């Protein structure tokens, strides 16, 4: 028996998702979407251009699967919902009312809620907040009877809404969340301080990054990340802003987010930015690549870069997120998720290699060298400022960044 879901964007049903009797998915744009957008305007994804064509299972799955959690969190969610973890259609039917970006997904008869004044949010006490964080392994993202939402990724995290007075609330019945809370990870010492330092370092270097803060819950640090794909207006209503990650933009499933598993290269990411994003996107990507080398972030894969829709309807590289020094932890690979100028081991990357990589994207060599040089010049002051922001930053992390900065300046 065929089944159908609708996908709404800014109140307009833009597509339908059909599942046939063999479980295959297809996606097609509605007539209203075809009338509202021309074929050159990305709507859901640059990999799914607007038009009368119906996208087959492989293309549809690559985008839709990218909206869902991965790994153990996904298995736990599927068990809670009593569906198979591989059943993308069923998971989206249950969780799709609050996804990455501005999409609202659900049965055609269900009203599409596009913004929220938090009237349906459940305010949390300190004890309830601590309980939700402690139970993330069993209830990833905070999913419960009335909490139906989705966020891509593997790490345990909690999606909440911040109230106007600063308190926390659970978004119910598909209302949009505004913040991501990421607790410590067992076996990775000071991972919260690690990510906070790296995010603040990027900010002090002038890169666009998601806003972060830390808080203590039940005696343990928690990283609080403000969602860049949400905007709170003057009436305290939360507005969704559309985004897609670069795997989705390239038509690749989450299982191929790493280059060595058939995932995107930096050249492929740059190609999407050059073709669809604003004129600053390539330079922003180069700054991000340089930063990841400096902090030793080997896990910057295709889903860690995203396109964000601007107010004018254009696209830009989204603020950076999930910045973490993986080199701080023994046992983790020193091979980067995306090689730089064919170099895969992060500690062997030189400033010359970084500039050469950017040159392959079509950036003039002199411009690439100036961008890298600018970051290296500003790095010492940025490290000092990020250390002041992060009193408990691991000493080994600051030392690593300083050493890599000196090495890149020397070559």
By percentage, how much of the chain surpasses pLDDT 70?
93
User: For 87-109, what is each residue's pLDDT tens digit?
Assistant: 999 999 988 888 889 999 998 87
Q: Annotated catalytic residue: which of 299, 341, 374, 410?
A: 299
Residue 1, pLDDT score: 46
Residue 33, pLDDT score: 95
Residue 171, pLDDT score: 85
Residue 235, pLDDT score: 76
Check whether 276 has a pLDDT greater than 90: yes
Residue of 151, 156, 16, 41 lying closest to 97 (CA atoms): 151
- The number of residues making up the chain comes to 411
Annotated catalytic, 299? yes
Average pLDDT over residues 133-138: 84
Q: Which residue has the higher pLDDT, 353 or 141?
A: 353
Q: Report yes or no: 169 and 209 within 8 Å, Cβ to Cβ.
A: no
Tokens of 364: 């003039």
What is the pLDDT of the chain when averaged over all its residues?
A: 91
> Domain limits of the chain?
3-106, 115-226, 242-410
Tell me if the pTM is above 0.85.
yes
**Whether domain 242-410 has CATH 1.10.1070:** yes
Residue 119, pLDDT score: 60
Q: Report yes or no: 244 and 277 within 8 Å, Cβ to Cβ.
A: no
Average pLDDT over residues 196-215: 97
Average pLDDT over residues 197-207: 98
């Amino acid at each position: 028996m065929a089944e159908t879901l609708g996908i709404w964007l800014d109140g307009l049903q833009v597509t339908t998702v059909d599942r046939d009797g063999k479980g295959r998915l297809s996606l097609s744009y509605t007539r209203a979407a075809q009338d509202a957008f021309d074929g050159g305007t990305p709507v859901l994804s640059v990999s799914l251009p607007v038009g009368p064509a119906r996208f087959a299972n492989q293309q549809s799955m690559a985008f839709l699967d990218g909206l869902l959690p991965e790994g153990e969190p996904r298995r736990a969610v599927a068990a809670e919902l009593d569906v198979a973890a591989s059943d993308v259609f069923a998971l989206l039917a249950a969780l799709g009312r609050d996804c990455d970006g501005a999409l609202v997904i659900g049965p055609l008869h269900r009203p599409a809620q596009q913004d929220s004044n938090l009237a349906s949010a459940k305010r949390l006490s300190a004890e309830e907040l601590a309980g939700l964080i402690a139970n993330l392994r069993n209830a990833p993202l905070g999913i419960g009877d009335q909490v139906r939402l989705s966020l891509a990724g593997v790490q345990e995290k909690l999606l909440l809404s911040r109230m106007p007075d600063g308190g926390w609330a659970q978004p119910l019945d598909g209302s949009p969340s505004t913040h991501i809370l990421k607790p410590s990870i067992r076996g990775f010492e000071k991972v919260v301080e690690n990510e906070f330092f790296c995010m603040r370092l990027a900010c002090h270097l002038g890169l666009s990054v998601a806003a972060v803060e830390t808080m203590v819950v039940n005696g343990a640090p928690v990283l609080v990340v403000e969602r860049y794909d949400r905007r709170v207006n003057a009436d305290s209503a939360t507005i969704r802003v559309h985004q897609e990650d670069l795997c989705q933009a390239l038509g690749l499933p989450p299982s191929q987010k790493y280059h060595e598993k058939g995932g995107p290269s930096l050249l492929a990411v740059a190609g999407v930015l050059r073709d669809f994003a604003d004129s600053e996107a390539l330079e922003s990507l180069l700054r991000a690549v340089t930063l990841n080398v400096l902090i030793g972030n080997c896990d910057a894969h295709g889903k860690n870069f995203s396109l964000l829709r601007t107010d004018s309807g254009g696209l830009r590289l989204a603020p950076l997120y999930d910045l973490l020094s993986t080199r701080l932890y023994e046992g983790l690979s020193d091979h980067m998720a995306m090689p730089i100028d064919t170099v895969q081991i992060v500690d062997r990357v030189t400033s010359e290699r970084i500039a050469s990589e950017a040159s392959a994207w079509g950036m003039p060599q002199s411009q690439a060298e100036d961008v890298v040089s600018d970051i290296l010049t500003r790095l010492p002051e940025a490290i000092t400022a990020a250390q002041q922001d992060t009193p408990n930053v691991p000493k080994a992390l600051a030392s690593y960044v300083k050493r890599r900065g000196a090495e890149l300046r020397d070559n």
